[in-house]
A and B are shown apart, each in its own frame.
Chain A
Amino acid sequence: MSGKNLLKAIILGDSGVGKTSLMNQYVNKKFSNQYKATIGADFLTKEVMVDDKLITIQIWDTAGQERFQSLGVAFYRGADCCMLVYDVNNMKSFETLDNWRDEFLVQASPKHPESFPFIVLGNKIDLEESKRQISQKRAMAWCQSKGNIPYFETSAKEAINVEQAFQQIARNALMQEADVPEFNFPPSVSLDAEQKQDQGDCNC
């Protein structure tokens, strides 16, 4: 594929799991302990090099809280990859991953759902071990069962694995990109065919 490469990456997951924080850590190298719910969506752009290619990642951070999900189906349209985020210290956020994934596949309806580039992030691994509710093993088993989705354990706070996760999803998405659609040259017009007459035609 020539010249320009842009990936639309969507981040999904329950409210408070750290979607916005991960994006901010990745793009701005900043973290805040404050929580402000995302309303509608947030957008950031980041340029990265993946295998000698300059890629622009257009990151679409969504609202985890249902009442703020006001943007509808069109929003998911044409996504190149999807990040599913849960909080390793929060059982519910792990259990809803299935819903997020299904919802995405329904809404975005990608051509090849089985091979669509997902990635799963288990976030907030910086907190004490005692708080942890989902083991790495369990998470990986789930990923395996969904067609070998790559799995990363991350911390937006300590910047653990954030860079790597985005790098991975970009690479996977680019691999999908490899099957370029055929450029079909459209037919020439036939001069004999009656063309519909437009109002604004010139009488010259």
Chain B
Amino acid sequence: MSNLLKENLKKQEKDGLSSNAGLNLSNLVFYNSGNATSTLSTTSTTIANAVVNSTSTSNISYSNSDTISDIRGINERLIRNKSNLSNSSSSKYTQSNKIFDNFSLDNLISPVENSDIEYTSDFGNEDNLMKIYNSSIYDYDEDNMSPYNLRKKYGNEDLTSSNWVKHRKHFFILSSAGKPIYSRYGDESKLSSLMGVIQAIISFYDVDNDEICCINTSTHKIVFLLKTPLYLVCVSQTNETEEQLKLQLIYLYNQILFSLTSVQLTKIFHDRVNFDLRNLLSGTEIYMDELSRKFSIDASFLLKAIRSFRIKNELRNSIGELLNTYRPKNILYGILTYNDKLINIIKPKKQNVHPLDIHLIINMISSTSFRSVESWSPICLPKYNSRGFLYAYVCYLNNYKLSDTEDSNSNTNTNLSSESPISPDSSKIMKTDVCLTLLSPDKNAFFELSNCKKKIEMIFNKNDILKNLSKIINKAELDIADFGIPHLRHVIYKSTKYLQFIETKRLPPYDEPSSYRRLLRSYKFLESKIHGYKKNLKFCYMLGKNELSLLWVRDDFELYASFSPFISKTIAYNDLLLIEKWFKKQDNLFITTSQVF
């Protein structure tokens, strides 16, 4: 594009705006405002402004669905006169988010030289802090809704629905041809004009071999993840940072690979650019819906770590040993979970486990009603190998008394391989929340794995594993009372070495989803401050109306905690040291030595 053209566009845009400001805005004009008198000189393609231009048909008033004027709202939000863009080649990145203009924690943090602990030195701006809180409070009843009901409630919204624009966080997935694939809210078909707009924005930069990453407006942040043949976009008012939102888009992208593999995704669009991917993904929307929801209410995704089940080392180890002894010949992982927590995992010696893959597996288990059946499905673990499928056998284990009581008293190390599994007395079967997942590369291995599960289930029962598990389930969750620290409300402890974390039970006020969401939001804020700060920041806190939340980061751990807002930061800081000491003494938090084969 020539400079002349850009000049023209600029002129056109000015003319248009002056005469038609506020009218139907349907066309997009982007121009390089910094081009002529380059203020941001570091790169050749620094785009500082994005402008929506007004255009034809302004005297037509639209009322029915999917009209130009309906897109306007989005465009206006998407691209504002004063919005700033950050793009990959731009090294200078300015943030214009109003909240952060008014209140910058950076200003409050006074770095203490030669110390690994730094904290805010001034409580001054509490009003502004409260503003952050208030702006991040959700007023939806989403948390208590099943994904099915959620779809039912919001699934038919489109650009005209007044509620649609109000959602705090949208996720869109489209093909690089601009065809809709997924929208968190609303019917993606009806949003296809919007998808076209998104594609146009992306192509505009594509022409110059540039990539758009993020648009900041005073109210919204729009983050792009370009993974040709797919584009993923998040439009958020949640105050999460670009990095945090990008990570969420990466999760959604990996969720698609989970169902398709990268090989297939590439091949499909190589064969047919215009392919409508929804036809291959149908049935997996629920995974995306659940992920989108969990980003705001589950700390695993922020922490990039696995939630572990607290259990005595001997019990954890004997579970691992049993799993390993009775495992099928040809598997990748054997995974035992309790709800969303990992009890133990067995794996090949040379193979590591990536938390992201585990998150996708746990998301699959928890999103579907596997409860009473043995399920068998092809899945792809993107971090392990994005190119091929594995087959996942998933089944919840039953707790039962063996009908043959004599047998249960006999030597527990009986070799079972020769016997056929003893059928349990059906009247005494008790379902548990303990779930066994076995991953095999062999698509015909179902019966083998199913038999193996029966064996494991039985040997677990013989050894009272399930009984012992169910006994400690109440104690497995970390209780805030364990610390004996007054005013302490919530703690998350993450081991950086093991990439696992543990969290205290959600006691009041955090038993309320909206409060917990707020807490998580404040942790996210602290996380972004710690990881976004130039100097080696180790400690950060934030005082709000509802709580005092803190984050302390060291090489081997991250410790998040929340206190009553009425205690002083000094007390909280000293308490944090005690909490850390307490954690250091525990040996039952994480899977430290998993069984390998």
Contact with A along B376-416 (1 / 0, CB 8 A): 00100001110111110000000000000000000000000
* Measured CA separation A78–B199 after assembly (Å): 12
Q: Choose from B60, B443, B499 the contact partner of A203 (Cβ within 8 Å).
A: B499
A1 lies within 8 A of chain B by Cβ = yes
**A74/B29 in contact, CB under 8 A:** no
**A186/B352 in contact, CB under 8 A:** no
A146 lies within 8 A of chain B by Cβ = no
**Min CB distance, A130 to chain B, in Å?**
28
* Measured CA separation A6–B180 after assembly (Å): 9
**A20/B56 in contact, CB under 8 A:** yes
A191 lies within 8 A of chain B by Cβ = yes
A49 lies within 8 A of chain B by Cβ = no
**A58/B56 in contact, CB under 8 A:** no
B190 lies within 8 A of chain A by Cβ = yes
A178 lies within 8 A of chain B by Cβ = no
Of B146-154, B232-240, B269-277, B577-585, which stretch is located at the interface? B269-277
Contact with B along A47-89 (1 / 0, CB 8 A): 1000000001010100000011011111101111000000000
A99 lies within 8 A of chain B by Cβ = no
**A60/B189 in contact, CB under 8 A:** no
**Min CB distance, B300 to chain A, in Å?**
12
**A71/B388 in contact, CB under 8 A:** no
Q: Choose from B26, B178, B191, B352 the contact partner of A197 (Cβ within 8 Å).
A: B352
* Measured CA separation A201–B26 after assembly (Å): 46
**A40 and B355 contact, Cβ closer than 8 Å, known pairs A6-B192, A28-B64:** no
**A74/B206 in contact, CB under 8 A:** yes
Of B128-136, B425-433, B511-519, B589-597, which stretch is located at the interface? B589-597
B286 lies within 8 A of chain A by Cβ = no
**A186/B263 in contact, CB under 8 A:** yes
A145 lies within 8 A of chain B by Cβ = no
Q: Choose from A68, A185, A188 the contact partner of B442 (Cβ within 8 Å).
A: A188
Q: Choose from A4, A8, A42, A46 the contact partner of B278 (Cβ within 8 Å).
A: A4
A contact residues, total (Cβ < 8 Å): 63
* Measured CA separation A39–B176 after assembly (Å): 21
* Measured CA separation A35–B193 after assembly (Å): 22
Q: Choose from B55, B273, B282, B443 the contact partner of A36 (Cβ within 8 Å).
A: B55
Nearest residue, chain A, Cβ from B274: A78
Interface residues of B in 195-233 (CB under 8 A from A): 195-197, 199-200, 202-204, 206-207
Nearest residue, chain A, Cβ from B443: A188
B441 lies within 8 A of chain A by Cβ = yes
A135 lies within 8 A of chain B by Cβ = no
Candidate in A4, A32, A43, A58 with the most chain B CB atoms within 10 angstroms: A43
Nearest residue, chain A, Cβ from B189: A56
Q: Choose from B53, B275, B304 the contact partner of A39 (Cβ within 8 Å).
A: B53
**B8/A195 in contact, CB under 8 A:** no
Interface residues of B in 442-494 (CB under 8 A from A): 442-443
Q: Choose from B27, B279, B441 the contact partner of A40 (Cβ within 8 Å).
A: B27
Q: Choose from B176, B190, B594 the contact partner of A74 (Cβ within 8 Å).
A: B176
**A45/B66 in contact, CB under 8 A:** yes
Q: Choose from B268, B271, B354, B388 the contact partner of A202 (Cβ within 8 Å).
A: B354
**A44/B29 in contact, CB under 8 A:** no
**A67/B204 in contact, CB under 8 A:** no
B498 lies within 8 A of chain A by Cβ = yes
**A195 and B384 contact, Cβ closer than 8 Å, known pairs A6-B192, A39-B53, A75-B200:** yes
**A189/B390 in contact, CB under 8 A:** yes
Nearest residue, chain A, Cβ from B177: A78
B105 lies within 8 A of chain A by Cβ = no
**A43/B276 in contact, CB under 8 A:** no
**A3/B279 in contact, CB under 8 A:** yes
Contact with B along A183-204 (1 / 0, CB 8 A): 1111111110111011011111
* Measured CA separation A163–B512 after assembly (Å): 53
Contacts of A34 in B (CB 8 A): 56-59
**Min CB distance, B197 to chain A, in Å?**
6
**A39/B62 in contact, CB under 8 A:** no
Interface residues of A in 7-54 (CB under 8 A from B): 8, 20, 24, 27-28, 30, 32, 34-47
**A77 and B177 contact, Cβ closer than 8 Å, known pairs A72-B207, A200-B354:** yes
* Measured CA separation A4–B192 after assembly (Å): 13
**Min CB distance, B394 to chain A, in Å?**
17
Which residues of B line the A interface, CB within 8 A?
1, 5, 8-9, 12, 26-30, 53, 55-60, 62, 64, 66-68, 71, 175-180, 189-197, 199-200, 202-204, 206-207, 261, 263-264, 267-268, 271-276, 278-280, 282, 304-306, 330, 332, 345, 348, 350-356, 358, 378, 383-385, 387-391, 441-443, 497-500, 590-592, 594
The 14 sampled A-B contact pairs (Cβ below 8 Å) are: A5-B276, A8-B177, A27-B67, A28-B67, A40-B200, A44-B66, A45-B190, A70-B30, A74-B203, A80-B274, A187-B389, A191-B441, A200-B355, A202-B358
**Given A36-B56, A200-B383, 10 other A-B residues pairs in contact with their CB atoms under 8 A:** A2-B279, A28-B64, A39-B12, A40-B30, A43-B192, A71-B204, A74-B199, A74-B207, A77-B178, A188-B388
Which residues of A line the B interface, CB within 8 A?
1-6, 8, 20, 24, 27-28, 30, 32, 34-47, 56, 58, 60, 67-68, 70-75, 77-80, 111, 181, 183-191, 193-195, 197-198, 200-204
Pairs A-B, 8 closest by C-beta atoms: A78-B177, A36-B56, A201-B352, A189-B388, A74-B203, A72-B207, A43-B196, A78-B273
